[in-house]
Structure 1
Amino acid sequence: MACLDNRIVFNEQPLLSKEQSGQGQVIQQSAEIMDEPLIGAFRCSDARSSSTEQGCLEEAHASAKCSMTTGQAHHRTDQMTTTSSGALPIEDWLKAEPAHQRREALPPPQQPAPTAINMWSLIKDMVGKGELSRVATPVQFLEPLSELQQRCEDMEFSELLDQAAAVERCSLERLLLVTAFAVSAYSGVKRTCKPFNALLGETYELACPEKGFRFISEKVQHEPTTINRVLAEGRGWTFELEDELHTRFTGTAVELAPIVLLQVAFSDGDTYRWGKAMTSINNVIVGRIHLEHKGSWRLRGVQSGLIACMKFHAATMLSSKSKLHEVSGVVEKDGVALKGVKLRGKWDRELHADLPDGSSRLLWRVNPPAADPSRYCMTPWVLRLNDLTPQLAGRLPHTDTRLRPDVRCLELGIYDQAAVHHKQMEEGQAKKLARIAKPGATHEPRWFERVGGCGKIGEEYLFRYRGGYWEACAAGAFAAQETQIERE
């Protein structure tokens, strides 16, 4: 089967000049409409991307092999997590990765906020029609993040995984810490604005040496269902996520029901898997919009047989304020609950564990709020996710979310340009999908590959990491790719 070029080019020119810092300014875009828009379009250039990038990748792998033969190989013990290519272990990457200058607020908006539009006129025809994830949403209802960046919100409390990696394998202590990490992922998801839908082939990276991990995500499939794939690596652990998000409008609320498989694998061979609860955005037509998580999931220690059974309690009309956002759980072994072990807390605040000896232990507590949470009520962690730090200048691939002009314009408060760019990107996505729908054409993800003979999503992973992203980054492949495009 012929494979169409899967590169995404958000802009023929870089969104930020090399002299500009992470805040940056949006460069004036051409208003000319082209047969195949360069802003926000997937471009089918059969030969443009391969030669330079492949040469840099080969150089990166050759360099890695050379370093291995000079004596670094013996440092790769079972206490280190490596990429599947084995070329750039996390410990070596942490030594080389520079510290990033993180922002504490969004830039002030450059335009007044757009006037409100009638929500009912927008979504009344969607009642009962099921899937909403592919519906084009006006930028007034979006926040300046893509769904790939939103997946990175799970990593805010990655230190819990560092602590879990340091305790005994298959222990109750490790299970409790991984469960706390799983619950902490809900704490930042209280905002009611929708993230931008990722485009097919879009990627996102977060290099976070100050917290000791690196993160990469990619939208790997759009049809028949959309699938996003995530891989994060830290000291002694690997976190993976693959999800298929289903949304529907009930008439009063928007319900988000993910089919998702999350996994943490520690370097000592201990693995944990779990899912996610349903999220409901209530009162979208009348009243105060608020969000809640509800339902239950089980976090299973594959080798230990220990299972944390967690329940998110839905609020009712009679619920007191003290009962809002409650989460509770028990730990089971062979289908029998462990005596004296209980989990309790609030998903937006903290999680405690009651232990068999009668003591109670605080497993996790939310970080203080941002001094300037912005008009989107973002936490300090979320504020950094779309930041173009100076350390990223010239190093990101063209597929990275940070280079999307519609997301960038919305963050800068240039609402009219954000709407124009967003429309162009949706049109470019439609053209890309039409091309790969033709017989003999397909889309191959760049950094993940489909696993043959797999089961259903949410039960086993349908895609796995190919390897090579961080090696290409270190070798300057993406910067060389940008230079090639500028010359052409």
Structure 2
Amino acid sequence: MGSPEKNQNNGGFFATMTSGLSMFSSAMHRSVNGSIASSKERDGYWKMMQSYIGSDITSVVTLPVLIFEPMTMLQKMAELMEYSHLLDQADECEDPYMRLVYASSWAVSVYFAYQRTWKPFNPILGETYEMVNHDGITFISEQVSHHPPMSAGHAENEHFTYDVTSKLKTKFLGNSVDVYPVGRTRVTLKRDGVVLDLVPPPTKVNNLIFGRTWVDSPGEMVMTNLTTGDKVVLYFQPCGWFGANRYEVDGYVYNANEEPKILMTGKWSESMSYQPCDLDGEPLPGTELKEVWHIAATPPNDKFQYTYFAHKINSFDTAPKKLLSSDSRLRPDRWALEKGDLSKAGAAKSSLEEQQRAEKRTRESKGDQFVPKWFDQTDETTPTPWGELEVYRYNGKYIEHRNAIDTSDAIDTSDVQSIEFNPWQYGDLS
């Protein structure tokens, strides 16, 4: 398979740790202080990487901060809300098939934003991210498990609720890695109570060690209306030689009898369009292809290839009053990296990781189990194409917490940036 066009950014949809490995390989040629590493040191790095071949490397590789972007995976979960107006339209739509056109276009829309080169920070156990001031949405995500790494998220406005439990599974293949999204995503449209289930395609990160890193997500994305049995199946075309077919997405909306009703086509890097079709999947006479989603303008020459919405997510403009001290924005390593201080960011990252290990020791010495605040682990284990998933459910406590704060007049919001980052269950980690 050839590489994609040279002028495209790198990165990947579910790249919790894979998107930076190519940069890690270049870093292998330098020591920590920036000097050229010896051949013995390089050989040691190569042996380390080779020992991971065939393994799930989601949380076993410690990577240098120079390959990171100033954002965590909890914040990246919120990026799916950029084009949330499509879910609003799905909720308002009376046509059950057009409802799936809007909702599946929303699911495709995030792929453009997730093709960035940089690796997000892995969240600390108990870390959270809150977002307000975007289309009336209240968003909360929380790191609910450290081994295996798992996150849960909930978003809500007047039109929909969005709930996700995310656990990644990877397979390192030497110069590439396969990433399997072992997760469950559910969207409930409030007007009719329709529940939509999303299964995204797997991702393959190519040229990790040699060549220019690029990401492909070949395979099917399936969104099913669990209420009616209707579904949409979109096929993400694999990238061919010289970038042929890269970004292309094609498929159909089917009724419960698996008869095609609407064809969909486009590129996840640009736009999606739809057209009514006959039972053979051919466009109906007298109809035309209509665009349903188009990417928004992006900042030119952005250092981290951020969209305008990514900057919005990362800013305190989207933070609510009395931000939780466990919020990702407050992480000292993320904050230092955003300010361009790599040395401080690296030291802060190491300190946070050591504090996380210290809290684990404290918890185990007390015989305690970690309990998330905003999500409850259920007894449900759901099958996915890549393994079983323990399901976490939003417990409703966050909206009660937020309502109490928003209706209070005694909240000091003068300097939210001065809040000390603290996701810890135990205060004294000395």
Smaller-chain TM-score range?
Answer: 0.7 to 0.9
Distance 1:460 1:172, change over 3 A: farther
Distance 1:180 1:285, change over 3 A: same
Q: Determine whether 1:248 maps to 2:177.
A: no
If the length of structure 1 is used for normalisation, what is the TM-score? 0.69
> Which residue is 1:344 aligned to?
265
Matches within 5 A, 1:198-237: 198-209=123-134, 211-223=135-147, 225-237=148-160
1:197 to partner: Cα distance: 0.4
CA distance in 2, matches of 1:474, 1:316: 51
Please provide the CA RMSD for this pair: 2.9
1:220 to partner: Cα distance: 0.9
> Which residue is 1:60 aligned to?
none
1:401 to partner: Cα distance: 0.5
- The code of the aligned residue for 2:107 comes to A
Q: Deviations over 1:374-398 (max 9, x none)?
A: x211111111222123x84871111
Question: Which of residues 128, 135, 153 is equivalent to 2:79?
Answer: 153
- The code of the aligned residue for 2:334 comes to V
Greater RCO structure (CA 8 Å; 6+ sep) = 1
Q: In structure 1, list runs of 5 or more residues that go unmatched.
A: 1-113
1:287 to partner: Cα distance: 1.5
> Which residue is 2:377 aligned to?
450
Matches within 5 A, 1:83-94: none
Say if 1:409 and 1:418, in contact at 8 Å, map to a contact too.
yes
Q: In structure 2, list runs of 5 or more residues that go unmatched.
A: 1-23, 30-41, 278-283, 423-427
Distance 1:190 1:408, change over 3 A: same
Q: Determine whether 1:283 maps to 2:207.
A: yes
Distance 1:394 1:158, change over 3 A: closer
Q: Determine whether 1:326 maps to 2:254.
A: no
Say if 1:261 and 1:457, in contact at 8 Å, map to a contact too.
no
Percent identity over the alignment is 28
CA distance in 1, matches of 2:183, 2:412: 34
CA distance in 2, matches of 1:436, 1:256: 31
Distance 1:318 1:117, change over 3 A: closer
Matches within 5 A, 1:249-268: 249-267=172-190, 268=192
If the length of structure 2 is used for normalisation, what is the TM-score? 0.78
- The code of the aligned residue for 1:351 comes to M
Other structure's SS at 1:164 match: helix
> Which residue is 1:132 aligned to?
58
Matches within 5 A, 1:22-101: none
Say if 1:261 and 1:461, in contact at 8 Å, map to a contact too.
no
> Which residue is 1:77 aligned to?
none
CA distance in 1, matches of 2:324, 2:227: 38
CA distance in 2, matches of 1:278, 1:258: 6
CA distance in 2, matches of 1:399, 1:479: 18
CA distance in 2, matches of 1:336, 1:465: 32
Q: Determine whether 1:397 maps to 2:319.
A: no
> Which residue is 1:102 aligned to?
none
1:259 to partner: Cα distance: 0.7
> Which residue is 1:118 aligned to?
28
Q: Determine whether 1:415 maps to 2:342.
A: yes
Distance 1:433 1:479, change over 3 A: farther
- The code of the aligned residue for 2:251 comes to G
Say if 1:191 and 1:291, in contact at 8 Å, map to a contact too.
no
1:350 to partner: Cα distance: 0.8
Q: Determine whether 1:177 maps to 2:87.
A: no
**Alignment size in residue pairs:** 364
Other structure's SS at 1:132 match: coil
Say if 1:260 and 1:276, in contact at 8 Å, map to a contact too.
no
- The code of the aligned residue for 1:378 comes to Y
> Which residue is 2:394 aligned to?
465
CA distance in 1, matches of 2:173, 2:142: 30
Q: Determine whether 1:377 maps to 2:377.
A: no
Other structure's SS at 2:313 match: coil
Say if 1:192 and 1:291, in contact at 8 Å, map to a contact too.
no
Q: Determine whether 1:186 maps to 2:108.
A: no
Say if 1:229 and 1:243, in contact at 8 Å, map to a contact too.
yes
Say if 1:191 and 1:376, in contact at 8 Å, map to a contact too.
yes
Q: Deviations over 1:203-260 (max 9, x none)?
A: 0011124x2212110011223x221101000222111111101223211123321111
> Which residue is 1:425 aligned to?
352
CA distance in 2, matches of 1:380, 1:299: 27
1:124 to partner: Cα distance: 4.1
Other structure's SS at 1:455 match: strand
Other structure's SS at 1:154 match: helix
Say if 2:167 and 2:389, in contact at 8 Å, map to a contact too.
no
Other structure's SS at 1:180 match: helix
Q: Deviations over 1:351-406 (max 9, x none)?
A: 11121333211111111111352x211111111222123x8487111110011000
CA distance in 1, matches of 2:69, 2:113: 14
1:133 to partner: Cα distance: 3.0
CA distance in 1, matches of 2:247, 2:345: 34
> Which residue is 1:271 aligned to?
195
Distance 1:307 1:338, change over 3 A: same
Distance 1:133 1:345, change over 3 A: farther
Distance 1:165 1:421, change over 3 A: same
CA distance in 2, matches of 1:319, 1:468: 47
Q: Deviations over 1:266-292 (max 9, x none)?
A: 112111111112222221212222222
CA distance in 1, matches of 2:112, 2:203: 12
Distance 1:278 1:444, change over 3 A: same
> Which residue is 2:221 aligned to?
297
> Which residue is 1:387 aligned to?
315
CA distance in 2, matches of 1:385, 1:457: 32
- The code of the aligned residue for 2:149 comes to T
